[in-house]
Amino acid sequence: MYRYRLHTYPKTSEDYDRMVALGREWDELAGAKGWAQGTGWTMLTGDGNELVSDFDYPDLAAFQREGENQEKDPDFAQFLRKMDAVERTRPSRDELLATL
């Protein structure tokens, strides 16, 4: 299994709320397109205002296929513009994990 993990750092509580709403919007879009839906996490300790989203894939080929489909999709491009509009304390970062 592969897990794509995205860390975002909203600047204000309003930005935090916007990012949470975008997570819900993503799940609707992803569900309609047959893409992986995310599991959202909030930090209870450590950095404040950090949101983490996990997306699971059965194999690397599925992850790569989905990325290729997203690159060509106008709805995905529009979603990314909405995400870019949310102010952050620092840039988002991502990870790709694999089970041992």
Per-residue pLDDT tens over the stretch 8-40: 999 999 999 999 999 999 999 999 999 999 999
Tens-place pLDDT, residues 35-83: 999 999 998 888 778 999 999 999 999 999 999 999 999 999 999 999 9
pLDDT of res. 34:
96
Question: pTM of the prediction?
Answer: 0.89
Domain that includes residue 17, residue range:
1-49
Distances (CA, A) of 34 to 20, 27, 61, 65: 21, 10, 15, 12
Contact (Cβ atoms closer than 8 angstroms) between residue 50 and residue 40: no
Domain for residue 82, yes or no? no
* pLDDT value for 88: 94
Burial profile 63-73: b = 16 or more Cβ within 10 angstroms, e = fewer: beebeeebeee
Amino acid letter for position 16: Y
2 occurs within a structural domain: yes
On whether residue 29 sits in a domain, the answer given is yes
